[in-house]
Amino acid sequence: MTDSVFTRILRREIPAAIVFEDDQVIAFMDAGQVNPGHVLVATKRQVETVMELEEAEAAHLFAVATRIAKAVQAEFQPSGLTLLQTNKPDGWQTVPHVHVHVLPRHADDGVGLVWPRKDPPLGELQALAERIHI
């Protein structure tokens, strides 16, 4: 796997405004700053998708993302907050390295996330649920 931009940030080859770092994750300001306080929380281990993480790694990633979200809420006082984790290009992932966006939101900030509702009947939902084995 080619090094991601996040791996290069971890090696300090690319400068970043780091918010938090421990042995498993790094959190830094998104260079794109959709809104002030937009933070990315990324694993230090470079894997492309959340499906490649061990449960403990995923738990830690989301625990830190939650801590960052609380800090962003306290400091920037947005009227909303979106935590977004995407996987693979068709899932809107743009950097092939697991990360969570902590995105402060405001009314009319221009950010959109929409999808068409299909509203299948309950029987179809139940059949889909039976296909998922954990």
Rounded-to-5 percentages of helix, strand, coil across the chain:
30, 20, 50
The rounded distance, in Å, linking the Cα atoms of 110 and 132 is 35
Beta bridge partners of 80: 105
Verify whether residue 106 is a known catalytic residue: no
In the structure encoding, which two tokens stand for residue 84, read together? 């977004």
* Alpha-carbon dihedral 75, 112, 6, 27, rounded to 10 degrees: 20
Report in angstroms the alpha-carbon separations of 129 from 55, 93, 100, 118, 133: 21, 25, 26, 16, 9
Q: Which of 38, 60, 97, 99 is catalytic?
A: 99
The catalytic residue positions are 99
